């Protein structure tokens, strides 16, 4: 990685799928010995994030089995000048506002890690689980909003919501790689207040969470 006064670039290696065109759901042959599968959304999500930062990404490869090189270029900004804080007279502190607690259920651990980081940076308290059963083990009183992938390794996010609703009202948002009218209808019937299709626009997700929790 190199950083200059005006721009910075990042390079990393990744096996380039044979059919890669940077579009959602594009996948090459999966030789992963662990059997892990996905929807072919990783590279489009990366590209979408970069485009939101007015960045460019170039990909090149010397052929199958030889890996690939991705180069990302984006504008850098000058760091703000640091000034000492201005002392303020002591006053009676206001009571802290309630931090909204989010239960994130996502079986893809890399995706869960990114979502958790972004949600915490946005001011939310986050609890992460990776399966239907581990989510059911979380006490209902420990979260305010459920954020769940629909396709889980040991069941469905729809089944999770149906089970949780038996214990009381649950505010939830479904995440899915599928967004047909039937998919949205199924999520709403299961009890989710919103259905967001992957790749997720994080701004849209934050608005949906805030609307359910009455803000942060």
Q: What is the pLDDT of residue 195?
A: 97
- Domains within the chain, CATH numbers bracketed: 7-75 (no CATH), 101-213 (3.40.50.2300)
| Mean pLDDT, each 10-residue run in order, the chain (216 residues) | 40 42 61 58 76 78 81 80 67 56 95 94 94 95 95 95 93 95 96 94 92 66
CA distance 24 to 139: 36
Confidence (pLDDT) at 155: 93
Residue 147: the pLDDT is 97
Q: Give pLDDT, residue 190.
A: 97
pLDDT for res 2: 37
Helix (H, G, I), strand (E, B) or coil at 32: coil
Token pair of 162, please? Answer: 């149906």
Q: State the pTM of this model.
A: 0.58
What pLDDT shows up at residue 143?
94
Q: Where are the beta strands (DSSP E) in the chain?
A: 2-3, 7-13, 56-60, 69-75, 101-105, 125-129, 145-149, 151-152, 155-156, 171-176, 194-197
The pLDDT assigned to 43 comes to 74
């Amino acid at each position: 990685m190199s950083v200059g006064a005006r721009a910075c670039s990042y390079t990393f290696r990744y096996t380039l799928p044979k059919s890669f065109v940077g579009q959602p759901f594009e996948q090459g042959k999966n030789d992963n010995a662990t059997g892990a599968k996905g929807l072919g959304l990783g590279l489009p999500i990366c590209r979408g994030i970069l485009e939101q930062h007015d960045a460019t990404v170039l990909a090149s490869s010397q052929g199958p089995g030889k890996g690939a090189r991705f180069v990302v270029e984006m504008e850098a900004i000058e760091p703000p000048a640091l000034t000492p804080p201005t002392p303020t007279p002591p006053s009676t502190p206001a009571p802290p506002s309630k931090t909204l607690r989010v239960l994130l259920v996502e079986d893809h651990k890399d995706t869960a890690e990114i979502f958790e980081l972004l949600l915490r940076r946005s001011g939310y308290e986050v609890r992460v689980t990776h399966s239907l059963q581990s989510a059911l083990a979380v006490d209902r009183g420990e979260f305010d909003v459920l954020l769940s992938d629909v396709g889980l390794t040991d069941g469905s996010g729809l089944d999770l919501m149906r089970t949780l609703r038996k214990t009381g009202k649950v505010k939830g948002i479904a995440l899915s790689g599928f967004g047909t009218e039937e998919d949205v209808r199924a999520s709403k019937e299961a009890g989710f207040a919103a259905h967001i299709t992957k790749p997720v626009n994080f701004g849209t997700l934050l608005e949906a969470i805030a609307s359910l929790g009455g803000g942060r």
